[in-house]
Chains A and B, each alone.
Chain A
Amino acid sequence: MVRLTDIPEIDARHLLDKECPAFEGEPWVEGPPLAERRVAIVTTAGLHRAEERNFELRDVGYRVIPGDIEGAELVMTHSSVNFDRTGFQQDVNVVFPIDRLRALAAAGEVGSVADYHYSVMGAGWLPHEIEATARELAGMLKEDKVNAVLLSPV
């Protein structure tokens, strides 16, 4: 079991000290059953195709991950060194569960998988600094008819 009480104190203290500003309102979007939803993954793991630009320090941009990508094509250029990368090195799905999502769609549990997924690099910026990128991504996701977004951290 890994909780803040289980990890090194220096890491736990750093995480607890992180700024987590409150947001106004409680947005809530209804939708159809999962078997009728079109699902995209958005990850903050700083993933991208190997031939793409690396993420930079405090990068608030995004990278597109095509829906038909092979996980082996993905690399990680996250600026933080304070999380485990050996899991990702062994299996992309432990961070970006694209094969598992495809399997659920093939089994009919999920309606469909998006044509495009997205990656940002979740370090070095405060939540409000990613707002413009988030709203831009939302527009593209809606163009892809996505109505369910799985947000996966690292």
Chain B
Amino acid sequence: MSGLARYFEDEGLATVVISLVREHTERVKPPRAFWVPFQLGRPLGAPDDPAFQTRVLRAALALFSAPAGPVIGDFDEDAPGADPEDYSGWVCPVNLPAPPDGAVAPDSLLAQVRGEIDSLAPWYDLARERRGRTTVGVSGLNIADAAALLTRFLDDPELDSTDPALSAPHAAKFAADDLKAWYFETATARPGASGSAALNDWFWGETAAGRLLLRLSATCRGIDAPVMQWLGHKALVPRTHEHLVP
């Protein structure tokens, strides 16, 4: 990000970089940077809070008036309701069945995921209707088919892609992105103090969809091919929850 600013400025364009990691910004020294104390993924601080976002944006843009640089401005206001470690105030919209003891066959795992999708679908539909959008769909599959593709891939990682423009591991990555987006959009359908840590703990610790991706991560890690190592180590499970990979 800061590197882009250096290149743009070198080409004659004035820039302001919003910085989420001050340590990186201090090293690269873009001309104008505006550090914000928000979690990664939320450079404007808080969703659905136009007044707060406007304060952040206005303060960032004010750096275009700085007389000289490199300069780093700081935003000293916390994002409202955005403590990622906040575990209070959120519960899953429906009670999901407890995981069975021991490993289950991929087909049984898929049946569990499909059961969850059926149970949660009304809340996904509500979230989509209220927001007027969904971020699900990057795989080009409906959510049940995305889960099915991931299960086939778990069963046979050498699976050929059905899309000539996309390798099977990349298709699996996008299907996994859709599966996670579907669950998280569903989980946030009801307003509440939902810290991302609580949502992640729920998805990775309590859902069959999470178990499917954790097992897929483990399978990929066991295959000696760069793309499978990438998928297994970096593209499915966040670092904060990779200790759950079996």
Interface residues of A (CB under 8 A from B): 1-4, 7-8, 10-11, 14-16, 18, 20-23, 25-31, 33-34, 37, 39, 42, 44, 50, 54, 56-57, 71-73, 75-77, 79-95, 97, 99-101, 103-104, 109-110, 120, 122, 127-128, 130-131, 134-135, 137-139, 141-142, 146-154
Contact = CB atoms under 8 A, between A and B. Distances in A.
Contacts of A44: 1, 4
Contacts of B79: 2
B17 interface: yes
A141 B13 contact: yes
Contact of A142 (B13, B56, B60, B237): B13
B237 A87 contact: no
Interface of B: 1-24, 27-31, 37-48, 50, 53-54, 56-58, 60-62, 64-65, 68-70, 78-79, 82, 84, 131-133, 135, 137-138, 170, 173-174, 177, 180-181, 184-185, 187-188, 194, 196, 199, 230, 234-240
B138 A77 contact: yes
A148 B64 contact: yes
A72 B70 CA distance: 35
B40 A150 contact: no
B13 A88 contact: no
Contacts of B187: 86
Contact of A154 (B19, B40, B236, B237): B40
B5 A151 contact: yes
Contacts of B50: 93, 99-100, 103
B24 A100 contact: no
A88 B196 CA distance: 12
20 contacts: A8-B239, A11-B240, A23-B3, A31-B64, A71-B133, A75-B135, A77-B138, A82-B238, A84-B40, A84-B41, A85-B180, A88-B47, A93-B53, A97-B53, A100-B57, A122-B1, A134-B3, A142-B13, A150-B57, A153-B17
B135 A89 contact: yes
Contacts of A85: 41, 135, 180-181, 184
Contact of B47 (A27, A75, A81, A87): A87
Contacts of B54: 100, 103-104
Contact of A152 (B18, B47, B237): B18
B42 A33 contact: no
Contacts of A135: 7, 11
B206 to A, nearest CB: 16
B237 A81 contact: yes
Given A3-B37, A84-B196, 14 more contacts: A2-B37, A26-B31, A42-B8, A44-B4, A79-B173, A83-B39, A84-B42, A88-B135, A97-B57, A104-B54, A135-B7, A148-B64, A152-B18, A153-B43
B43 A149 contact: no
A154 B43 CA distance: 6
Contact of B13 (A15, A83, A92, A146): A146
A109 B133 CA distance: 29
Contact of A86 (B6, B7, B188, B237): B188
A100 B14 contact: no
Given A100-B50, A110-B61, A86 B11 contact: no
Nearest to A131: B7
B3 A127 contact: yes
Contacts of B13: 29, 138, 141-142, 146-149
Nearest to A125: B3
Contacts of B12: 29, 138, 142
